[in-house]
Structure 1
Amino acid sequence: MQLLLQGVLHAVLAGVVVSIVLCPVMIGFAAIIFSHPEFADALPMLTKLVFASSTVHQLVITTLSPLPFAIGQVQDTGMIFLASMASSIMTELDPDVPLAERIATVLVHLSISTILVGVGLILTGKARLASLVQYLPTPVIGGYLAYVGFFMVKGGVALTTGVSLATVHGWDDARGAGFLEDNGAGVTLVDVYSMFDFYHIHWSVMPGQFLTMLSMFVMIAFASSLDIASICMGTSSNMNYNAQLQTVGMSNLPDIVYFAFSPQRNS
């Protein structure tokens, strides 16, 4: 019994530490995905959607993964393509279109993309194609990693520079210098869900994002396979690539149920 309680305590403490570490990561991901200037006013609500997405991913990964320490969250690889599609749709829609309709269109499109990518990953795993990543040339892998790293650095620099702070004694000083957003009112979940207005979705702009969505599927399948390979190497465990890829895909499918209320994204 003592060993059981000790194990539970260690698991809870590890979960708390991981949550603390991932919170600023998710905030940064939200800022990069919704980096288009016109998302600025809705960013607090959009950030909540990213947190909701990570929560759902974690629940699915925890339930289906054979690893007791598995962590699921919005993935940096998919984030690149989500940011591209979000900005592209906002730019493509005429400025005369109400902002609420443009945001709703973006959120629904990203949700649909997430579902389709999840289905694609499941089918790839069932077809036993995940292991094909082992045959990719080294320059392809290096180029992929280099681009992801460049995008992450680019997004991080954009979020953390531009304003020089000589001394900061508190949050108010940081806000006064323009380094932090103003301390606005809190946002309820009801307000977040209200952004999904299915009566004013501009479906015509979505087909133009097909190639980006296809690229996102390929990169996520590739990145997930690399993650699985690295876990096998680090833990000396023999995991089934195809089964684990299906698990990643399954974590996207809850969007079918809840994307009408909150989106999201990615794996």
Structure 2
Amino acid sequence: MSFVTARQIAVSYGDALILERVSLEVQKGAFVTIVGASGCGKSTFLRILLGQEQPSSGHVEIDGHPMAPEPDPERGVVFQKYSVFPHLTVLQNLMLPFELEGSAFLGRVFGARKREARDKAQAMMETIGLAHAAKRFPAQLSGGMQQRLAIGQALLKRPKIMLLDEPFGALDPGTRKDMQALLLELWRETGMTVFMVTHDIQEAFELGTRLLVFDKVRHDPQYPNAYGATVTYDLPLDHGERKKTAAIEAALIQSQTDKA
């Protein structure tokens, strides 16, 4: 049985159809990368998986059960813009998920629970390479360090599903490579299921075990909003057989270049 199942997802905003007929099954532990032209509904699909947005029709199941209609700890998310709290230090940002869980009203825990939260936060700082920056505020961190913090914060509650929306888009090439390596390492260690939206097709091929391409298959020049995007390619990626995927990768890059 698949871990994440989407059945006939459609999304419309007024008269504009954004997504239509999106159906797929994803096994537990997969790393699914998602590419497509700007505005084709990639981020919309990610928000549906998060529970931040409801489809106009269709539904999503997780582990055989209807997905919770609102975000929950089982689904972590990291956006392109660093989603950390600017008034908290690195350590405080990483302790926050445990403190909110302990007291949503006060946002604080005490005694043994506070020590446990600190221990887990410190262990995560070691994992993401920020132990030396525990007392710094986000404004005192580089872009790559802020994104490390955002990923660490999302991982602390051990989500079953990690949702990433262009998480490295604002980083320089060197930092981006480091963050890709960190993400793969954390994915292998945790066994979580990952959905990652990216505009970089090469990144999609290098990181993913499965590639989804979103695009419109029907067009009406008189009514451009009449049809939505769907999954036009669904490709398993075998990183040990790069030659077999190289031609497809080149064709997709050329296709996206032509549309730009």
Instruction: Identify the structure with the greater strand proportion.
Output: 2
Which gives a bigger RCO, structure 1 or 2 (Cα 8 Å, sep 6+)?
Answer: 1
* TM-score, normalised with respect to structure 1: 0.24
* TM-score, normalised with respect to structure 2: 0.25
